[in-house]
Structure 1
Amino acid sequence: MPRVNDSTPWPGHWSPLGATYHPEATNFALWAPDAEQVEVCLFAEDDTETRHVLPNRTFDVRHGAVPGVRAGQRYGFRVHGPWDPAKGQRFNPAKLLVDPYARAVDGELVAHPAVFGHDRPSMDEGGDHAVRGNADSAPYVPKSVVVDPEPFDWRGDAAPRVPWAETVLYETHVRGFTMRHPDIPAELRGTYAGLGHPAAVEYLTDLGITTVELMPVHQFVSEPDFLHRGSLNYWGYNTLAFFAPHNAYASSGARGQQVTEFKGMVRALHEAGLEVILDVVYNHTAEQGDGGPMLSFRGIANDAYYHVDPADPSQYLDYTGTGNTFRVAHPAGLGLVMDSLRYWVGEMRVDGFRFDLASALARSMHDVDMLGSFMTVIGQDPVLREVKLIAEPWDVGPGGYQVGEFPHLWTEWNDKYRNAVRDHWRGAAPGVRDLAYRLSGSSDLYADDRRRPYASINFVTAHDGFTMRDLVSYDHKHNEANGEDNRDGTDDNRSWNHGAEGIEADGDPAIRELRLRQIRNLLATMLLSTGVPMLLSGDEMGRTQRGNNNAYCQDNEISWMDWSLPEQYPELLRLAQRLLRFRRQHPVVRQRRFFEGVPVVEGGRKDIAWFAPSGREMTDAEWHDGSLRTLGMYLNGEGIRSRGVRGERIVDESFLVWLHAGPEPLDVTLPAGIWASSYEVILDTAEALQGDHPAGTTVTLTDRSCLLLRVVG
């Protein structure tokens, strides 16, 4: 039975929110404007609960300082008030709530009817959403943890601050990246310490990427119904606490040790010159829709923290596909998100963020508003405007698709790039016009409002979808292992299996070779394009998920990196390293300003030129020829429009890239005249051509191949 402590906590202070440790007394402060009473509940090691009523209210904050509370103390809140879902109010003191400002969380969510705010008789029955449930949830929910803000030894850590134009993103999963790594101690695999281990860091630096983009590391939980059917949420897009590092990724403990371990990982990556970007999920929370669990926000200020339907406040406006949408337009929601972002930059020293379903964050009442409070505050914040900001520029609501529409400081996942490159190499594109826009930085999307080419995050694959190897091995998704009868995951894969379904068909030498060539084509295209490339971890070594394009629940070998692959496909890893080294060495593929298609110097060559197989510049008719499958891109190293830090001209070598997606070999003429005297083969993804070739002569492109040539003379 819980024990109510008769001693009144000290008055404490209303700010900062959350639990603030002091050796004498820990201050607890919770924003709960409509609450009738708030209790802070402390849990002993045997889970005995002691409750303290927070005695004071300043503005809309309940607060009090409890003497003798030490770092590592587990706690939660119980919030009293009316249960009236029809008016958007869902107070239920039987439910223990995680502190929205908790710096650490201990424990996991258990699938039990008590975790729901409404009456639910069992996990197999939905119950009546309008009736308050009285079962105590404390034994089944995670607990907040008091964290000692003792100084961390950063050892002179400094942010790498990689310029956008030089950035190469690497999307990976803390657990999946190291779970099978043979050179990382078993006890560190799948953890922050594992990702910061020298073996992991050395691999990343040897590969040549600059920036690690981590899938969600905010404390998350699996959906109760997933747990009940024996599944889980592996990806982590189900946030519970926006300040707390996910406790399951810590090897050292969950009573605040996860904070220190996360910092150690950041320090190790920074020491190697690598940036750390977090994939953050502020658009929704783990509390789902009307029938979801009550874990935190819903029981504190439901109609403030969530978009509820004005016509029926018992229901949520769902722009995210998860059941709820976090109300960033509300001052409390906006303040929490901004405090969280600043905390991760200032205290945890991350270098930026990728915002999941970012359009949902820009919604005010209903519409997406790029001049709204969230975008405005981000742009004015002296800390956040200096870090990398990446938008997933859509959500699932009306008007949510916003590719090309985010403000100046933002970059965007460019799905138009993904689609164009996939369609080209599978032979399904209606010509090459759209491909040219994507290769050159997507000026049609970003130039009109004076953004730069690096606003485009160029990706071919990402965590949600096929891996690159599966993209060339499967026509259809194969998500049976997810337990949803293959209904989940997109059917718009723009993939091609090259003759037979599945990686088992690699036993056919012709199919295997063509698939590997197509992976080489995709890697080369992405890493030679203007913009910021994002590589999905494992694509550089041929990782497969065996056709699963929605492995959100696969915490197993389907999702984990297979570190035996570099021995099976060494040529892929070497190619990725070679292309990344080429990109690092040549600013002509890292343009900071858009091409203009005209000479920089009068009488000189154009900064970029496009060639048909004839060796002549593309005509208007050829640009609109839907049957064309071949495009030549000439990058003039003397036509770079941006200047160096001291105003000096930036000059590079010039290159010609042929991208031939046709099913048969093709003779192309190498441009002559002012363009070159000869060309030197740097890379042929078909490994057929090499050496020097005079301008004006023809070379034969292997079917479905990419050729990179250095311009001579």
Structure 2
Amino acid sequence: MRADNRAKGGAILFETGVEFAVWSQHAAEIQLCLFDETGNKEFARLPMAREDGHVHRLFVDGLKEGTRYGFRADGIYAPENGLWFDPSKLLVDPYAKQLDRPFRHDPRLGVFGEDTQNLMPKAMVTRDTKVTLEKPLFEPGGFIYEVAVKPFTILHPDIPETQRGTVAALAHPSVIAHLKRIGVDAVELMPITAWIDERHLPPLELANGWGYNPVAFMALDPRLVPGGMAELRDTVAKLRAEGIGVILDLVFNHTGESDRYGTTLSLRGLDNLSFFRHQPERPGELVNDTGTGNTVACDHPYIRQLVIDSLRHFVLGAGVDGFRFDLAPVLGRTANGFEAQGGSLSAILDDDVLSDRIMIAEPWDIGPGGYQLGNFPAPFLEWNDRTRDDIRCYWRCDDWKTGPLATALAGSSDIFSRNGGTATRSVNFLAAHDGFTLKDLVSYSHKHNEANGEENRDGHSENHSWNNGIEGETRYPDIIKKRRDDLKALISTLFASRGSIMLTAGDEGGRTQRGNNNAYCQDNEITWVDWKALDEELIAHTAFVVALRKRFSVFSESGFFDGDGDVEWISPSGNPMTIGEWETANFSTLGMLLTTRDGDSRREVRLAVLFNRSDRAHDFLLPAPDTAVWRLLSASGNSRKLGGTVTVPPRSVIFCVGN
């Protein structure tokens, strides 16, 4: 029976026992360590048999589901040659699907000869449960809501305290009601797989609250998902029942074992030379294309299969809609650089389970040729930082930004038409977990990361932000109003753009991180969403523009405009923008006239989206629609008839429909 499933990694449960397998080319020997039900007492240490293909395998009779285990790998310890074998280190199975406890950083995890048995989580033997696969709910053009599970739910007043901060809390009726109110199509969960703190954080009494420092690619972190895959599966099912998909943000580009002075937890101890990139002819020097100390060799056949198996695990075991890949160029890196049609990216798209899932790339890393926006193979969607910066700079009133704004609104055809592309694959966003919150974008001209313990040296210095007159929090009503107006304008612009849309949880209500634009290490009130402090007017405005996006088909369509009646760019005169107006450095207005299907009337209509970034009102002359009259659309639900002219208030975006 065991011959039916000869896996290269993991623990496979059979009726009579468990088969363990792990891959290592350079280890002299690998031992299986078995622990009692507490995970604290080792009761067996068994040598594994090496097979052809560098797989080490062992079947142990009588073991059951829930058995706790780890590996020890022996061999040459010569870090200068890329070899880190140290049998004193207990290692987590790269294929572990459940851990009995979270990772906790301890300096001894990186000291040669220091036994780490009592410092390490133990993998647990699990029984796979498969869901009935359904088509992903999320479709390109929809609204993605980026969620950090703990910060989003830990202060929610309606969620039971025992459930706050967990994946299960996302299925609470109050959370679902909020998601549906603002029209979320899919939640994108920031990393929920097991991670470890960076070594500099514990001395600062800080902790990684984002999870972008993984150790195990499949095992869920017990702090966020104490119920394991069953909890994730149940939450996905409950969200799907409400029409909301789930996308997982996964990190395959590096591990928390870090650089030369880091820890030995899993891949490093099993076969560092095979699993990570090293400088050519300097095997002891790790490549740092990620900025975290190491870079996973995603083109290695074992790692490639581990990535594929991890993705399949979450689709088959929980039914997720798709994935967002952190620093995704690493998935396409080979010894020759980034290859869009390389083996790992192609393997993901070609897999029979994964082929219909949503795939989203963060299309940059810090290595050579690391900026790859627009170069990922279709149907990958890509985070578009160009759109982010152009919209920010437009509303900051930078010069020469009218043309870039129009390009962003139209889906960035200049980027995504490469290689014969005919449709946008852009994920448009204005703020994400990394950087200022949307409110901080209009409240701070400079980053304020002092709480991170690095003397404000960390984080991006150029945020294309502005403070509306005072740096940080204020009680001045006029400045509060200006900031709210700017936030409304930014949100309106974002949801009026062609492509998929992403908003970070809490930004619809004006959450703040007090100017911290690198808050990964602030697992506290700095990042936790204060539900009682959210701005109801902003939430209502967000719900309004999302509803408009769903009502008018033009926004969620992905094909590029052809200019044959589908879009027209107008100035306040109502006439097409002239070359002179496009080339006016500080031109402060823009009109976008669209031909679209109206989901309410089920007829083809004209829709005008009018932008005014100046500090004074501007009148727009609207062309006569083919039918009768223009109406101004508002969050109140009332549409007001207009004459031939409409006044666009200062610092605002308005929507008018001709019907």
- The TM-score range, normalised by the shorter chain, is over 0.9
Which residue does the alignment assign to 2:593? 634
Name the SS for the 2:162 alignment partner.
helix
SS in 1 for 2:296: coil
Give distance in 1, aligned partners of 2:520 and 2:530. 18
Hey, what's the Cα distance between the residues in 2 that align with 1:684 and 1:276?
28
1:248 aligned counterpart, secondary structure: coil
Counterparts in 2 of 1:366 and 1:86: CA distance versus 1, 3 Å: farther
Partner of 1:143: 122
Counterpart in the other structure of 1:517: 485
State the Cα distance separating 1:55 from its structure 2 match.
3.2
Q: Mean Cα displacement is larger for which, 662-671 or 180-189? A: 662-671
2:647 is equivalent to residue 668 of structure 1: no
Which residue pairs with 2:375 in the alignment? 405
1:47 aligns with 2:40: yes
Alignment-derived partner of residue 175 in structure 1: 150
SS in 1 for 2:56: strand
Offset at residue 276 of structure 1 (A): 0.5
Once the two structures are superposed, residues 554-585 of structure 1 have per-residue CA deviations (whole angstroms, 9 ceiling, x without a partner) of 1112111111134xx21111111121122112
Which one of 653, 659, 666 corresponds to residue 605 of structure 2? 653
Q: Distance in 2 between matches of 1:429 and 1:29?
A: 60
Offset of 1:409 from its aligned partner?
A: 1.2
Structure 2: distance between partners of 1:267 and 1:521: 35
State which of 289, 306, 309 in structure 2 corresponds to 1:336. 306
C-alpha deviation, 1:456, in angstroms: 0.7
Contact 1:426 1:495 in 2 (8 A): yes
Query: Aligned equivalents of 2:4 and 2:632: distance in 1?
Result: 71
Contact 2:137 2:185 in 1 (8 A): no
CA deviation profile, 1:148-190 (whole Å, cap 9, x unmatched): 33x47x6x7744533223x110001111111011111100001
Question: Is contact 1:160-1:270 (8 Å) kept?
Answer: no
In structure 2, relative to structure 1, the CA distance for the partners of 1:82 and 1:419 (3 Å cut) is same
What's the counterpart of residue 97 of structure 1? 91
The 1-side partners of 2:506 and 2:464 are apart by 20
Matched, 1:79 2:112: no
Matches within 5 A, 1:495-514: 495-503=465-473, 505=474, 507-514=475-482
Alpha-carbon deviation of 1:416?
A: 0.8
SS of equivalent residue, structure 1 residue 707: strand
Verify the 8 A CA contact 1:304 1:333 in the aligned structure 2.
Answer: no
Q: Which residue of 2 aligns with 1:542?
A: 510
Q: Which amino acid aligns with 1:691?
A: R
Structure 2: stretches of 5+ with no match in the other structure: none
- Across the aligned residues of Structure 1 and Structure 2, the Cα RMSD in angstroms comes to 2.3
C-alpha spacing 1:331/1:56, structure 2 compared with 1 (3 Å): closer
Kindly provide the CA deviation profile for residues 394-428 of structure 1, in whole angstroms up to 9, marking residues without a partner as x. 10012111111111111100011101111111111
Of the three residues 62, 68, 71, the one matched with 2:56 is 62
- Matched ranges for 1:323-472 at <5 A: 323-451=293-421, 453-472=423-442
CA drift of 1:613 comes to 2.0
The CA distance in 2 between the partners of 1:58 and 1:68, in whole Å, is 26
Could you list the per-position Cα deviations for residues 196-246 of structure 1 after superposition, in whole angstroms to 9, with x for gaps in the alignment?
222222221222111000000111111233223322111000111111111
8 Å Cα contact 2:540/2:635 also seen in 1: no
Letter in 1 for 2:41: T
Query: For each residue in 1:610-654, what CA deviation from the matched residue of structure 2 results, as whole angstroms up to 9, or x when unmatched?
Result: 01122210112222221212111001126x9xxx9xxxxx95322
**Candidates 504, 527, 539, aligned match of 1:573:** 539
* Alpha-carbon distance between aligned partners in 1 of 2:586 and 2:200, rounded to the nearest angstrom: 49
1:434-476 CA-to-partner distances (Å, cap 9, x unmatched) read 1001001111111243435440101011001111111111111
Matched, 1:709 2:649: no
One-letter code aligned to 1:86: E
Partner Cα separation in structure 2 for residue 615 and residue 46 of structure 1: 72
Moved more, 221-230 or 388-397: 221-230
Provide closer, same or farther for how the CA distance between residues 677 and 617 of structure 1 changes in structure 2, counting only shifts above 3 A. Answer: farther
Q: Quick one: distance in 2 between partners of 1:54 and 1:316?
A: 29
Q: Secondary structure at the match of 1:653?
A: strand
Percent of aligned pairs with the same residue? 39
Identify the residue that residue 264 of structure 1 maps to in structure 2.
234
The Cα of 1:388 is off from its aligned counterpart by 0.3
Query: Does 1:681 find its partner at 2:632?
Result: yes
Question: Which amino acid in the other structure matches residue 562 of structure 1?
Answer: D
Contact preservation (8 Å) 1:14, 1:63: no
Compute the displacement of 1:101 (Å): 0.3
In 1, the alpha carbon distance for the partners of 2:173 and 2:569 equals: 44
Q: Paired residue for 1:591, among 550, 557, 570?
A: 557
Aligned 1:28-43 pairs, distance under 5 A: 28-43=20-35
Pair 1:526 & 2:486 matched: no
How many Å separate the matches in 1 of 2:350 and 2:246?
A: 23
1:122-201 alignment to 2 at 5 Å? 133-149=112-128, 151=129, 158-165=134-141, 167-201=142-176
Give me the whole-angstrom Cα distance separating, in 1, the residues matched to 2:39 and 2:97.
Answer: 22
Deviations 1:473-531 (A, max 9, x none): 1111111111111111111111111000112x2x1111111110111001111111111
1:19 aligns with 2:11: yes
Larger relative contact order (CA 8 Å, sep ≥ 6): 2
Match of 2:641 among 688, 692, 701: 692
- What amino acid is the match of 1:375? L
Match of 1:126 in 2: none
- Provide Cα deviations, 1:338-371, integer angstroms capped at 9, x if missing partner: 1111111112211101111111211111411112
Query: How many residue pairs end up in the alignment?
Result: 654
Q: Specify whether residues 135 and 448 from structure 1 end up closer, same or farther in structure 2 by C-alpha distance, changes over 3 A only.
A: closer
8 Å Cα contact 1:216-1:281 kept in structure 2: yes
Contact map agreement 1:76 1:99 (CA 8 A) in 2: yes
- For 1:528 and 1:112, the matched residues in 2 are separated by 48
Q: Deviation of residue 111 (structure 1)?
A: 3.6
3-state secondary structure, aligned to 2:454: coil
In 2, Cα distance between the equivalents of 1:47 and 1:460? 47
Which amino acid letter does the alignment assign opposite residue 413 of structure 1? W
User: Which residue of structure 2 lines up, in the alignment, with residue 123 of structure 1?
Assistant: none
Find the aligned partners of 1:614 and 1:148 in 2 and give their Cα distance.
67
* 1:613 lines up with 2:588 in the alignment: no
Change (3 A) 1:463 1:675: farther
Contact 1:193 1:250 in 2 (8 A): yes
* Shift in CA distance, 158/194, structure 1 to aligned 2, threshold 3 Å: same
CA distance in 2, matches of 1:456, 1:114: 44
1:452–1:482: structure 2 CA closer, same or farther, 3 Å change rule? farther
Structure 1 residue 14: Cα displacement: 4.4
The 1:13/1:710 distance shift into structure 2, 3 A limit, reads closer
Q: Whole-Å Cα distance in 2 between the matches of residues 46 and 512 of structure 1?
A: 54
Q: For residues 228-239 of structure 1, what are the structure 2 equivalents within 5 Å?
A: 228-239=203-214
2:86 maps to amino acid: N
Q: 1:159·1:270 contact (CA, 8 Å) conserved in 2?
A: no
Which segment drifts farther, 452-461 or 334-343?
Answer: 452-461
Deviation, 1:262, is: 1.4
Q: Is the 8 A contact 1:12 1:27 kept in 2?
A: no
Query: What is the CA–CA distance in structure 2 between the aligned matches of 1:703 and 1:335, rounded to whole Å?
Result: 55
Structure 1 stretches of 5 or more lacking a match?
Answer: 1-9, 120-132, 252-256, 599-605, 645-649
